[in-house]
Structure 1
Amino acid sequence: MGDNPPGRNPMQRFANAVSSVVEGPVIWFREKVVEPNRPTYYWYHRKMRRVPTIDECYTDDAVCYLEANAQFKRDKMVESEILSILRQRYEDCVHYETPDHVPKCKLLLDQYNKAAENWFIKYGDLGFVGDVRDAFMKQKHRMVWERRHGPVGSGMRETNVPA
């Protein structure tokens, strides 16, 4: 209501008075009744609560397994989108810096390659129907391999060397 400055002539003052008489109750109703009783929805930045991971669930707890699987699927979608954003940034850099893009876009390419490697370590070879148990078993097998043979990709140790 106090948003309108006082008019310089009688016609402007009359228009401001009519406006405040018409808009005043509407603005009051919206600010005092509607907005305090409206729930807040954060559509674009909704934060889902973190649920227990599969290693924290009991073997016969179906609800915990379903929540952990849903969390795993959400994490996979988020990390896939991050990977596609990094790929798009690199492609945009190559497109923009075309004649000498190799040195200028090297940082973006390294970031993308590291993210793609980490994504593949976690989700690669699971297929479309891979779930949280498959990913957990994959992680367990990788840890056993690294304990026996060293980091993946470094070659196997000698068989006669004690671990």
Structure 2
Amino acid sequence: MPEATPRNIIDKFFFTVGSVLDAPTVWVREKIVEPNQKNYPWYHQKFRRVPTIDQCYTDDVVCIHEANVQYKRDKLVDNEILSILRQRFEDCTMYEAPDHLEKCTPLMRQYEEAAGNWFAKYGDLGAYHDARRAYMKQKHRMVWERRHGPVGSGMKKTGSLEE
């Protein structure tokens, strides 16, 4: 929007006074503050991804520590995602009070799937767990699935006695 030109001497006076007071502030903002700001398109700090625990050597303490810190950050993010999904489902059930069984079913399924995935990754690890223990849990689960089929599907039949 173009600036209005002053119409009379009083407008011209106030326009000049305003420009004198406003010009240093605008100059500092445009020439000093804005060029030195870090402009992120997101509202949280973005960390670089580091090697996971399976990519670290066993004697590389720094790599193991970075993997643990990243694992804990990822767990916090997964906790928040699960919390948001749970809150969406609860809000839906409160808003759609009598018909919530039909209308909120997709949200309930999405939350239950996310909760199952969260438990598969972080569940049963105890209070003081780290990336190494989570990796071992994942490895043991993969060995179990290779031998017996997917977890929760029942054990596959082996041997000739049951045939």
Fold conserved between structures, TM > 0.5: yes
Distance across 2 between alignment mates of 1:120 and 1:29: 52
Between 42-51 and 101-110, the greater mean CA deviation after superposition: 42-51
Distance across 2 between alignment mates of 1:39 and 1:27: 15
Aligned to 2:137: 138
Aligned residues of 1:4 and 1:16 also touching (Cα < 8 A)? no
Shift of 1:40: 1.6
Distance across 2 between alignment mates of 1:27 and 1:77: 41
Distance across 1 between alignment mates of 2:90 and 2:33: 47
Between 125-134 and 24-33, the greater mean CA deviation after superposition: 24-33
CA offsets, 1:22-71, max 9 Å, x none?
221332233123332x2427582221100100010001111000000000
What secondary structure sits across from 1:35 in the alignment? helix
CA RMSD of aligned residues (A): 1.8
Aligned to 2:81: 82
What secondary structure sits across from 2:98 in the alignment? helix
Give the TM-score normalised by structure 2: 0.90
Q: 1:5 to 1:22 in 2, by over 3 A?
A: same
Structure 2 residue 63 is matched with structure 1 residue 40: no
Percent sequence identity over aligned pairs: 62
Aligned to 1:97: 96
Unmatched 5+ stretches in structure 1: none
Shift of 1:117: 0.3
Aligned residues of 1:52 and 1:64 also touching (Cα < 8 A)? yes
Q: 1:46 to 1:71 in 2, by over 3 A?
A: same
Distance across 2 between alignment mates of 1:124 and 1:70: 18
Distance across 1 between alignment mates of 2:15 and 2:2: 10
Distance across 2 between alignment mates of 1:94 and 1:15: 58
Runs of 4+ that moved beyond 6 A = none
What secondary structure sits across from 2:99 in the alignment? helix
What secondary structure sits across from 1:98 in the alignment? coil
Distance across 1 between alignment mates of 2:49 and 2:112: 28
Q: 1:140 to 1:53 in 2, by over 3 A?
A: same
Distance across 1 between alignment mates of 2:94 and 2:21: 56
Give the TM-score normalised by structure 1: 0.90
Distance across 1 between alignment mates of 2:20 and 2:94: 58
Unmatched 5+ stretches in structure 2: none
Aligned to 2:51: 52
